[in-house]
Structures are given as structure tokens and as C-alpha cells.
Structure 1
Amino acid sequence: MAAADENADEDNPYLQDPPTDFAPVADLSEDEAERQVELLREAIREHDRRYYVESEPLIADRTYDALFARLRDLEEAFDLSHPDSPTRAVGGEPLEEFETVSHVAPMLSIDQSGEAEDVREFGDRVEREVGSVRYVCEPKFDGISIEFVYEDGRLERAVTRGDGREGDDVTRNARTIGSVPQRLHGDYPDFLAVRGEVYMPKDAFQQHNRERIERGDEAFANPRNATAGTIRQLDPSVVAERPLEVFFFDVLEASELEDSHWSELERFSTYGLRTNDRVEMVDGVEGAIDYRDRLLEVRDDLDYEIDGVVLKVDSRDAREELGRTARHDRWAFAYKFPARAEVTRIADVAVQVGRTGRLTPVALLEPVDVGGVTVSRASLHNPEEIAEKNVNVGDTVRVQRAGDVIPYVEEVVEKGSEGHYEMPDTCPVCGSPVERDGPIAFCTGGLGCDAQLRRSIEYYAGDDGLDLEGLGEESVRQLVDAGLLTTVADLYELDREDLTDLEGWGETSAENLLAEIDASREPALADFISAMGIPHVGPTTARELAREFGRFDAFRQVAEEEPDRLEGVDDVGETVAETIHDFFTSEANAAVVDDVLGHVIPQEAAVDTGGDELEGLTFVFTGSLEDVTRSEAQELVEAHGANATSSVSGNTDYLVAGDNPGATKREDADANDVPIVDEDEFRALLADEGIDLA
């Protein structure tokens, strides 16, 4: 074991009652600055350990902030930055992409079941093979598993689970998480690789979602999605702004191993690695079942999401004897909780500003299972409906989910508040007055409201629009804030100098985005119709409209002059037809469409009756295909009877992965045992049915 070289020192003045009236930086010599930096780093690491691991902070938050600011000022003034300094937690320059790194030991999945008998069968098998054992039981965290590797006590790398053998190097992002120590404490091993679960606390998640909704951003569906989306951000400064935490729960590899898992966990806290206080040691599998039942009772009181418990054989020798399969360790088992009922509590209400300025109140929920999907937000629709249902923060409500749309609050089951929620008088994003049109509330700020402008551009460039890689919500916000985008059409006026003058943009990222924009000047008709952001017209309806009318000018003319004809198109009823008509007859929308048409030429859509060769199959596409666009591939399989959806589920038959596929869809495919095929395999699959891809 190696002793830490920077343990908290009794002579360090920044530990107990630290002074914050520092001498001016300019008055310090280089030697004095180096000594003060050393003491500040040492103290801040100890304060982090006390706060995150021991939950016994020595100083107030304001004092901690003063010490942190002083350290940052000294490092900048004397060029004393260091990779494992606490100040590295504020992020750094954005990455172009993540590097793929092999794990030091496999990060396998866990065999699981929601049935007690399956747990007992696991226990019987363990006892037959190695005799009676003790189990370490822990919550099954619903977050993102990360491998953290420490060499000589320093954090060297953090890697996502990936396929279990290799994953993405997210070290710079992990350094921004306060509960991830940059340096270990105590008598740590020379080499230590540990498995941790990064998560977003429930309270922090609700607050973060509220902030996102009120500034016009899309809310995260649940804490796990928020965590996954955050840890894979290419810009560490974005990660630093989001409330992530971590629990460490397993040793993957170490230069010196303990005889038991329980002993390893006891040492974690001495190293400064934060563990969960609900972990217990039990005798036999019945003790593990009892542990699960007790944890289920307090599940809703925890500030982190769990979906079951994990029982692990404590003895390392027994673990070695039990071994592993290709997919999971044979010494561990997850006993899952039943899905939550559709009744939950409203934790908060936020107001979302849409592309058209419509204000939509959104209930932020204690996460609940609705139709097999865990959700933590639900639409309250409009002020009139809120008053009719008498719904407010603190109420227990029943949540329903219709198709793939956002869940909605059906009724109040139990009042936990007085009265009903009142909508704001001003827009939460721009402060403009709110006006009512019947039951609907609108922001009067128009494109002067950042939320409306940004959301229209984000949608145009997003997966349901023209899929412009490199133009996500953060980059759109940056371009809008810089005054470079005042309408969608401004995308086509951007040049390299505009982009490279902005923070975080290099020559390569600028050229890549401009190439994406240039390639979108002749979009598929269905993509263009969807990208316009017409309410109720998503990719599926857009494809039906493209098939029906063939040309954009023909579709637009019917929408403006003969909206009744739209009702003959699949997926278009009276309400949708009226919405499409209203969209094109709006002077503001018509002007935006005309401006965009000055830069793009939507392609004619071939009317193809196709066949039913692929009937019953469901495809999801990710990444870019070489010979056809994703939209053309979707149209092709749908023309031959298949379904093409945007997300992977247990109903998906194939995930077609082109170049630069999305990691989330691949992970979802692995989780649902969905076959992943490349473009050549997709082409062969179609050829077997007599269908030509291109």
C-alpha cells in the first residue's frame, strides 16, 4: 500500500476556521504562491472528502467558495495549473470526440429478476458450488456505470461501461463531479480501478429540469437520461454546471486485493471514495430478500433513483470459484423492484415556452412507471384544465400516457395543497407579458424571446428535422446569443470566421458544421416538411404528406387553400389539418418558410406503392448511411410494410447503424437484445426480400 503524500495537515491554516482575507495576489512571491497553492489544494481535497464522503463539512459553503476562488486566482496568476488540482473541476476546452479505451477488467452486466424464487434459485446454486456464503447487499442504482482508475493515488482516467470490454474516456467530465476525488486519501493501493455509479439526485434533477423548461430547453425524461446525456457531453464546462454525484461500489482491479468485498467497501471511505449508507451484510439469500423488501418500503424517500437491489457474494475466493459467463458475473444477482404504479406526487411545476410562444405548464413528478416507461414529468395542458382538475404542487395524481406523447395528469387522487396552480403573468424566459387565447396562454415576445427562436432552430437541425450534426441545443444557444442566428434561414449565411471567432469552435468543427449545412440545401421532402416545426407534424406524418403531394409547393398550396383535402392523408385528421392550415396562413411563419426556401430546394418525393415484404418488422436507424439518407431508408422500409421509429425498444427488430452511430441507441439495442446491423448487412437483408436499397 502507498501512503498519501498530501493528507490533511494539522498545520494547514485552511482546514479549521480558515482565513479568507487574503493578501493581494500581486504582493506574493512565486515561492509564497506555490506554498499557498499547495496548502489550498490539500485543504480543499479534505473539505471535499468531509462534505461528500463523511457528510460532515468543516466549513460553510461560502468559506469553501472563497478558498476555491483564491486557489484559482493563484494558479492563473503564477501559471501553477495541475491536472489533479480541484480547480480542474470547472471543465476545459470542448473535445472533438471521445477516445475509446479498454477496461482494466470486464464490466459485465448482472443477471436479474423480479421474482423471489429466481433469487432463491441463484442462492441454491451458489450454495451447491461453494457452500454457505454471506452477501453484501446494496441498492441497484439507476445511473451510469463508470470505471475510475487511480495510479499512485491520482485519478488517471474514467471510462464509461460501453460494451463491457471498452468504453468512452470521459475523464475530463468526471473531474467536474465534486464527489469524484482527484487524489485518494489514506493508505491506498498503488493501483486501484473501481466501479462507480454516476447519478443525478432527485431533488437536483427536479430543479435542473425546471430551469431547462423555463429557459425553453427540452426537459430530461428522468434522472438516468439526464445523467447519460450529461456524462457524454463533449464540453466539460456543460457537465460542470449539472448536478451529478457518484457512489463507488466495487473493486475491478487493484495492486493489493482484500479477502472480502465488505472489507473493500470499508476501506473506500478512508480513500475518500463515497459509498452508499444503505449497503448491508447479510447471511444467506433469505437475508438478501428481506433487505430488498425493507429497501422497497423506503424507496420513495431516497434522493436517488433505484430499481432494485444487488446481492453479491462477499468472499473473493468464492467469487473466483463461481466465475463468470460471457455476459455476467455468476456471484452477483439483481432482485428488481416491481414497476411503480401510475400514481405519484407533483414535486414542482415549470412552464415551457414552445416554438410558437405557447406556454405549457409541466408537472415535475416523483418518477413513476407509466405504460412500461419511467417518467418524471407530465403535461398539465393549459390554465383552464389546471383549474378544472384543481391540481397543484404537492398533490398526489394519476398519470396517463397516450401513444408516444408526453404523459399527462389525468386526475388528482389526494390533495396535498391548497387550491390550484396559477400560471405566471410574464414569460419565464424573456419576461414579456402573457396573453390568453381562450384556454391557451402565449408569450408575446415572438422571436425576441430566445426560447421561441432557439427551439425553432433546434428542431430544424435536430433528429426530426434535417439532422445537422454538430448543431445541438448548446451550440444553437451560443449562436443565438452571439447574434449570428435571428431566424432559421441565417444558418445558410454562416461562414467559417463567424464560427471560429466563438469560444470552443476550431477550424475542424466549423468546417464540419458548414459542410453539414451545405449538404442540407437539397433535403428530402419529408425531412423538410418535418423540419418546419408544424405543430402535430412529426417525421411519420411528414412522410405521409410527402407521399401524398410529392412536391413542397403542391403541399403548401393545398394547406393554404384547401385544408379539407389534407384529411384524406393517413395520420391527418380535422385538428391536424386545421393546425397545418393555420401554420401556413400565418404571416410570420410564411415569411420564415420563404426565407428558408431562398436557400434550399426540397426534393420531389417519389410516390411508391411498395409492398408488404417487410410487414411486421420495426427498424431504427442511427448514424449516416453511404448510399441513401436515413429518411430515404425509412421511407423505403415503410413502403414495403415495415415500421420505422426513432427510438429503440423491446419491439424493435433491427437497429441499422451507419457511420458515427449514436451511443445511446446502441446501448438501448444491447439492453433490449436488438440485433445491430451495418449498411452492408441491411442491404443484404433487403435483397433477401427482393428489395434494392439504392
Structure 2
Amino acid sequence: MTRSSTSHADPAENPYVEEPPTDFDPVAELSREAAERQATLLRAAVREHDHRYYVEADPLIDDAVYDRLYARLEALEREFDLATDDSPTRRVGGEPLDELETVEHVAPMRSIDNGKTAEAVREFDERVRSGLETAGFDPDDLRYVCEPKFDGLSIEVVYENGRYVLAATRGDGIEGDDVTEQVRTIPSIPGRLRGDPPETLAVRGEIYMPRDAFEAHNEERRERGEDPFANPRNAAAGTLRQLDPAVVADRPLDAFFFDVLAWEEVQNASATRPTTNRGQFDAFDAFGLPRTDRIELVEDIEAAIAYRDRTGEDRETLNYAIDGVVIKVNDRVACEALGSTSRAPRWAFAYKFPPRTATTTVRGITVQVGRTGRLTPVAELEPVDVGGVTVSRATLHNPAEIEGLGVNVGDRVRIYRAGDVIPYVPEVVEKRSEGSYEFPETCPVCGAPIERDGPLAFCSGGLGCPEQLERAVEHWARRDALDVEGLGPERVEQLREAGLVESLPDLYDLTAADLASLEGWGETSAENLIDALDATRNPPLDRFLAGLGIPDVGATTARALATHFGDLDALLDADEAALREVDDVGPEVAASIRTFFDGEENRAAIAGLRERGVDPEPVEGAGEDASPPLDGLTFVFTGSLSVARNDAQATVERHGANATSSVSGNTDYLIAGENPGRSKREDADTNDVPVLDEAAFADLLADHGIDWPPA
């Protein structure tokens, strides 16, 4: 059975699966019967698209088309009161809960015996062979199935007639916390199963936060001034126990399933439980339940040990945390014959990796400065092996963490390392110093006063702080800001160390001769960077704002600020009340913007940029009630243009339009460069969408006061 052998929606019967139409009739013109039919089709199609995107990583449609299907389903359910418990629209989160209720598991969620040595695994094999021989089985027929042991939060999920009805944490193995509404928001867990499931199916899985999503989420927390999570497991566990499902929906959780707790069917004879543990994974595929691809059926225990060693070598490359592998007897009848103890099955064993904790001595404590000025203390350690990796530094998070631990130079501490997350210090195991480390009162880099905000500390030096400056220059050059090609982190560091860039405006004092004198620079690369910088002297206001690195201001908020205020001076003079009038700018973001612009060093940097001819273009016709010039229009681009396609898309989006990847009845213009795609031209003809070449597109933009090509 392949991963895509069954589906939530048959493309031959459901028009919203492949190349779905999105030019819908107004909701108000539909009868209730027509709305119900369309909502049923849309639910099935959205489930299919969710599965293809989150589980199979093979989407059928682009995000913009999906958003329109989802929005239509929401509108139908809202207007005609058609919402169902298993509708994909429930994923946004329901009402906050007063507390987590306790529920009994459908079947016990037992622990697994474990060991850290190959000898312990071989002893497990001997017990299994002896037990099977006693029960009348031929030990020579024994096969094992191997899988990763996930380091997340164990979960039970129950389906009745294919519909999601319950989720609970493991708890004590007999009862757990009811987290039905929280788990409902996780996109990879289906609200309705695919294929032909049994009447009751209870499955066991692991909730986790992917490593890349964990790092991105932690960065967002730091930017908001919140403490980062220590590791992905803590992040997943803390998230799932949130009482507000909307908070869970906003965090990047995922899941893998690995066991069947209950499989009950009375009338559905075709829904027969697999006879092997390996077959259960095939059933998960058929039902649309996510599972790991790292499953192996092996011939004997030595092959299982080899699987564990290979998995350990790949451990750091995986996008999820594991702490070992699980080895299971494959034959389910043999498993039942072996049975279980009061706490663990006799047919499974966890072969764990070396522990990722160690004890060492703190040699020193240094304080690092981030882009937003946040100060992070770091323990410099006597090098120690932690899980096969030599660790010499570990984060102490913030001043409050230091005070809570009571840690100082010379103390013996425990080091914890999970995956590729920065190691941290969870406890002092032997106090060898007096008191705690005294956090400095001034920035160790620039000497500016340190400001405390709850448990956190910040350098007040702003763009005048060399460390903040280096990160600020990197941010200024990013593609979603000023897009200065050739100004990566290594070159920024080189320019600062050479004394050529001591403030953001210094970038625009650079000459080709300055750069050509540095190691690794040639005449051509030097001239290219100068040309790239010159091209940013009159940037769009929103890109200028995004480039400044104002805390809590990304590209979307920068665009809203630019449209609302129109020019830089109006924004610089706006108080918090005026800032809160902008869409998506709440009290905290308004305060963050005002604090940034009130900073002496930040004001000096902006003034210095303007003195060097870097002055953002005002937004014509902007104001409190103004609409951007391309507001409401939708463009699709095909073929080769005089600029990169993503730059063309960014240009129209900056002026209020939508840029999508496929043509539909909602498309206003198809812009066709050289060698355009035939399918998009055909779709444009079908939907009566005007097709413009680049010259006509430039004329259209000129009519709206927009230059083409973009600078």
C-alpha cells in the first residue's frame, strides 16, 4: 500500500481537489441545500489538501488557492450555521478552557523497558526467544520492527467511525489530561480519517515541535522579550497544556503515530486489524495518520542493534528529537502470547542513546548582545563530553535565571543538551563560589547603561552599539529589507573590524577603493557592492522601515505603517495613540516602535542615513483613510521579465495588490514575459483574464503612479 493509495476526496467527484475553481457565487444567493452541498465538498477537499501538505509534503495547490477554499468554507458555515465538529475550520482553536479534565484511556498506555547497552538488548532478545518457545512458537521465525524513539509528549487519540472524538496525555498510563480541543488544532492530525477505518480506533503517538520550527518560534519569543523554551520537548509539552486552544493553534506542533491501542469493529468486516506491528504503519498511511518513514523490519537482534547505531549517526540531521530506538516483535499474535508486566510489554524494548547531561565547572561568564539589544549571559565551561559532543559553552538565558540558579564562576554545574539546541545549565550541583554572578550595569560592548525589563536585560546603546550594529547591518541587507547583494554576515564583520563601518550610515561612505584594499575583495566585487548600495538610496518607505530592524515590525507591519503615514517624518512624529490607529498595531507594538524612534542612537542613525542621501520615497495618496494604489487587484506572473519574478510580485504587493501563482476567475491580470507558460495563458483565456506583456504592465503601473522596473 502506498502513502497516497486512499484519499479524503476523489478528484473525479470533487471539483475542489485539482485545479479548483475559486470564482464563487455570492453566499447570499445560495439556497441552504446548495450551501450544504458545497460545504460538504469543500470540507473533504480541504482535508485532502491538509493531508497532502502536512503529512505527505506534496501539495496539490498553492497557498493562495487553499486560502480561498478555506475562506469560502468558513463563510458557508458561518452564514448557514453548517459547522461540524470535524470541520477543518475548527483548527483555529475554540473557547478557552477553565481547566484540563481527567479522562480514562481506552487501553493502558504502558512504559517500555529500556537500556543503554547492546548487552541489555541481547538479554531482551533471549527473554523473547525463551518466552516464545515456551508458548509454542518457533523462535527462528522471530522478526523485529525498529523505529525511532521520539522525545516529545505521548498522546492517545481516539476516532469513532473515522471521526476525531478525543485526545489525552499519557498521565499515569491509566488516566490522562483531556486535550481534545488543543490537539484538534494540530494540522497534521486529521479530523476525519481516510480510507476504511474500524468503528473505534485508538492510536498512540508523540506530539513534538520540529527543530526548525522550534528555533523560529524561540526567536519570535526573544523578539517579544519572552524567555525561549529550553528544548523542543518542553515547548511541545508546555504548549499542549495551554488552556486556550487558540494559543496551541498559533504554535508549530506536529505528530507521529506508532501504535494501536484499540481496534474495534462490529459490522465493518473489511476493517481488519493488521497482524503485524509493521502492518500497523501501513494502516496509518491508509487512514491519513502521520508516521515516521524511518521504519525497518529486521531479521534478528544484531540487525536491530545495527539499526540503532545508524539512527544514532543520523540523529543530528533529523528535524525532530529522538533519544533512542524502539525494537518490537513484529508478529502481533506472538506479542499477545508474550503479554505484559504491570508496567511494560514483554515484546518491546527501547535501546537508548547515551545521556545528554554531564557535570563540569564554570570557568567564566560572558554577556552576549543580540540585534535588538537583549543581553544573554553565557557560561564558559571546562570542556565536557555531552552525548558524544564536546561542550564548552552553555546559555544562562537572562539575569533572573542566574539569580534563581545562584550560579557563579567556579561552581560545578549540570549541563543539558537536547538535539542541536544550545546547551543550558539546569542546576548547580556543587557550590564552590560566593554568591551569584553580578550582572553588569553597562553593556560590555559599548558601555551604554543596561535597562531591565522584568527578568530580561537590554543594552540601551541601540545602533550605536557595535554588536547591535553588526546584526543591524546584516538585517538592513536582507532580501526582505533593502536587499543589498554581497553584504553577508562575514563581510559585515570584516567591514566593522576594519573600522570602515561603525554605524549604519557608514555603509554609504564606502568607496570601491576602501573595499578593494581588504582581503578577499577584488575590483569587480567592490564596485558591485557600491552599486548595490547606491541602488538603495531611495527605497520604498516600507522596505526602509523593515530594514531598520524595529522590534516587532516585520514586512507586513512596515507596509501598513508606510501606507498609513505616507512619509518618514509623519511616522517619526507619531505618538503611541496615532500608531495604534494602524491596522495590526496594538499597544505593545506601538510602544516598541515609539521606544525605538525615541532612542538617541537610532535617531542619529536615521539622520545620518538621510544626510548621505538615503531617503525613503513617500507613499503617494497615503493617509488614515487611504487605500494603496493597487488595492484589491490580483496579479499572476508567467515567463521571464526584466526583473526576477519575486521582485515583480513584491512590487505589486507593496502597493496593495495580491500576487498568486495560478490563474482563476479572481485574477485581474496575467503578466506574460518571454516564454510564458501555456497553461496559464489557457487559464486566462478560459476565465477572460486580460493578458499584458511587460510594456503594457509598466503602463498600467504608471497610471497608478508606480515606476517600473523597480529600483
Q: Which residue of 1 aligns with 2:641?
A: none
Give a deviation string over 1:229-286, Cα, whole Å, max 9, x none. Answer: 0111100000000000011111011014221111121111111111110011111211
- Shift in alpha-carbon separation, 1:376–1:68, aligned structure 2, 3 A: farther
Contact kept? 2:145, 2:329, Cα under 8 Å: yes
Query: What SS class does the counterpart of residue 341 from structure 2 fall into?
Result: coil
- The alignment status of 1:112 with 2:87, answered yes or no, reads no
1:56 to 46, 50, 58: 58
- The alignment status of 1:231 with 2:247, answered yes or no, reads no
- Shift in alpha-carbon separation, 1:321–1:340, aligned structure 2, 3 A: same
**Cα distance in structure 1, aligned partners of 2:163 and 2:214:** 30
Q: Which residue of 2 aligns with 1:171?
A: 180
- The alignment status of 1:303 with 2:319, answered yes or no, reads yes
- The alignment status of 1:360 with 2:369, answered yes or no, reads no
Query: What SS class does the counterpart of residue 127 from structure 1 fall into?
Result: helix
Give a deviation string over 1:69-97, Cα, whole Å, max 9, x none. Answer: 22112211211111000000000100011
**Cα distance in structure 2, aligned partners of 1:214 and 1:362:** 18
Task: Output aligned runs, 1:28-427, within 5 Å.
Answer: 28-130=30-132, 131-132=139-140, 133-255=142-264, 256-340=272-356, 351=370, 359-360=375-376, 369=386, 378=395, 401=425, 403-404=427-428
Task: Output aligned runs, 1:643-654, within 5 Å.
Answer: none
**Cα distance in structure 2, aligned partners of 1:8 and 1:245:** 26
Which amino acid in the other structure matches residue 293 of structure 1? Answer: D
- Shift in alpha-carbon separation, 1:122–1:71, aligned structure 2, 3 A: same
Shift of 1:144: 0.6
**Cα distance in structure 2, aligned partners of 1:85 and 1:247:** 21
**Cα distance in structure 2, aligned partners of 1:97 and 1:246:** 23
Contact kept? 2:32, 2:80, Cα under 8 Å: yes
Which amino acid in the other structure matches residue 216 of structure 2? Answer: Q
**Cα distance in structure 2, aligned partners of 1:251 and 1:434:** 57
Contact kept? 1:193, 1:253, Cα under 8 Å: yes
Q: Which residue of 1 aligns with 2:670?
A: none
Which amino acid in the other structure matches residue 135 of structure 1? Answer: Y
- Shift in alpha-carbon separation, 1:246–1:358, aligned structure 2, 3 A: closer
Shift of 1:214: 1.0
| TM-score normalised per structure 2 | 0.52
Shift of 1:42: 0.6
Query: What SS class does the counterpart of residue 248 from structure 2 fall into?
Result: helix
**Cα distance in structure 2, aligned partners of 1:237 and 1:333:** 37
Q: Which has the larger radius of gyration?
A: 2
Query: What SS class does the counterpart of residue 158 from structure 1 fall into?
Result: strand
Q: Which residue of 1 aligns with 2:632?
A: none
| TM-score normalised per structure 1 | 0.53
**Cα distance in structure 1, aligned partners of 2:84 and 2:90:** 8
Q: Which residue of 1 aligns with 2:407?
A: none
**Cα distance in structure 1, aligned partners of 2:587 and 2:350:** 49
Contact kept? 1:4, 1:153, Cα under 8 Å: no
- Shift in alpha-carbon separation, 1:261–1:153, aligned structure 2, 3 A: same
Q: Which residue of 2 aligns with 1:491?
A: none
**Cα distance in structure 2, aligned partners of 1:205 and 1:113:** 29
- Shift in alpha-carbon separation, 1:297–1:97, aligned structure 2, 3 A: same
Query: What SS class does the counterpart of residue 328 from structure 1 fall into?
Result: coil
- Shift in alpha-carbon separation, 1:11–1:403, aligned structure 2, 3 A: closer
- Shift in alpha-carbon separation, 1:423–1:236, aligned structure 2, 3 A: farther
Give a deviation string over 1:432-476, Cα, whole Å, max 9, x none. Answer: 97459999989xxxxxx99xxxxxxxxxxxxxxxxxxxxxxxxxx
Give a deviation string over 1:622-643, Cα, whole Å, max 9, x none. Answer: xxxxxxxxxxxxxxxxxxxxxx
Please list every run of 5 or more consecutive structure 2 residues that lacks an aligned counterpart in the other structure.
Answer: 133-138, 265-271, 360-367, 380-384, 400-419, 430-444, 470-550, 553-584, 592-711
**Cα distance in structure 1, aligned partners of 2:252 and 2:335:** 35
Shift of 1:24: 2.4
Q: Which residue of 2 aligns with 1:519?
A: none
Query: What SS class does the counterpart of residue 187 from structure 1 fall into?
Result: coil
Shift of 1:399: 5.6
Shift of 1:61: 2.1
**Cα distance in structure 2, aligned partners of 1:251 and 1:337:** 25
Query: What SS class does the counterpart of residue 50 from structure 1 fall into?
Result: helix
Q: Which residue of 1 aligns with 2:486?
A: none
- Shift in alpha-carbon separation, 1:316–1:144, aligned structure 2, 3 A: same
1:16 to 7, 15, 18: 18
Shift of 1:294: 0.7
**Cα distance in structure 2, aligned partners of 1:17 and 1:350:** 49
- Shift in alpha-carbon separation, 1:287–1:304, aligned structure 2, 3 A: same
Task: Output aligned runs, 1:634-673, within 5 Å.
Answer: none
Please list every run of 5 or more consecutive structure 1 residues that lacks an aligned counterpart in the other structure.
Answer: 344-348, 383-395, 406-420, 443-448, 451-479, 487-694
Contact kept? 2:39, 2:76, Cα under 8 Å: yes
Shift of 1:156: 0.9
Contact kept? 2:11, 2:18, Cα under 8 Å: no
**Cα distance in structure 1, aligned partners of 2:358 and 2:25:** 59
